[in-house]
Amino acid sequence: MIPLVYHASYSRLALPSRHRFPISKYQRLFEYLCQTPFSGQFSLCSPKPANQTALASVHCPQYVAGFIHNRLAPKAMRRIGFPWSEHLLTRTLHSVAGTELAARKAFEHGIALHISGGYHHAHQDFGSGYCIFNDLVYSARRMINQGLADKVLIVDCDVHQGDGTATMTVGDANIISCSIHCRQNFPARKADSHYDIELEKGAGDDEYLSTLEQILPLLILTHRPDLILYDAGVDVHAEDELGLLQLSLEGIFRRDMSVLRHARDAAIPIACVTGGGYCKDPLQLTLRHSQLFHAAAMLYR
């Protein structure tokens, strides 16, 4: 069975009215997946919260302590985009740990899926763009430090560049970061990933998928990773509120199938996170995120 990592805290966060982050999407996606015909292919796993010591081994200890104990400056919290609360703390610690759990489960099952994660704008000593701690880099380093992997490849297909992932892996030969994103989108000032694949505003299914099919075999052949962490952000959709690309629902499904198939065919464990996606219509957003889970159910029976 395919491990499905989820915690109820992911959507238990009260946000101000008009806040644009769709915090309910995690619970909605989980409930949707429980009702699908292939729900029996998933095995539910729930993470325990990440602890301060583990987080401080990857992030700046002062930053970690500042967030956990609500001592960050108001300016720092504004940059993150969420007001501090106990619910935010609980959600954050479980979500970071959830990606680590998915990575660990991927070694056992070949694949694992996390209904959260993809907090790629979090830097070593500050958060940004709704991202507090970088679960991708954190999980990669935990797997390496615990001897489960020598090399981890992060494939980031969120529409926004993973600038935090880039700055946290600069000069690191064991964590390879690849960001496939829209050049004109956030952040305005891009960092340098190991691989930055920039698509122009308005790029659609064919251009995106052609680019992906060129880069994935190269990355796998060049680096021969022991684990792939895949950020399957759906803000690449044509009607996403914060995206500038033009992928269709079918295009997202084909993208996810491509990434998963390359990992499966190369016998590389893959842990997937849902990443970004912004839409006022909760059903449409759920359908976009669900494409990853449909793809996994088809390829990993």
Q: How many residues does the chain have?
A: 301
Token pair for 44? 């539910």
For 49-85, write each residue's pLDDT tens digit. 999 999 999 999 999 999 999 999 999 999 999 999 9
pLDDT at position 68:
98
Count Cβ atoms below 10 Å from residue 281 Cβ, excluding itself.
10
Distance CA 65, CA 69 (A): 6
| 2-13+20-300 belongs to CATH 3.40.800.20 | yes
The confidence band for 197, taking pLDDT boundaries of 50, 70 and 90, is very high
Coil, strand or helix: which one is 247?
strand
2 touches 292 (CB < 8 A): no
Distance CA 216, CA 263 (A): 9
Question: Taking 90 as the threshold, does the pLDDT of residue 171 lie above it?
Answer: yes
pLDDT at position 51:
97
Mean pLDDT, residues 174-199 taken together: 97
Short-list 233, 19, 224, CA closest to 114: 233
User: Which residues, 6 or more positions from 151, have their beta carbon under 8 angstroms from its beta carbon?
Assistant: 144, 173, 174, 175, 176, 223, 224, 225, 226, 227
Element (H, E) at 181: strand 175-182
Q: DSSP character for 48?
A: P
pLDDT at position 84:
97
For 215-269, write each residue's pLDDT tens digit. 999 999 999 999 999 999 999 999 999 999 999 999 999 999 999 999 999 999 9
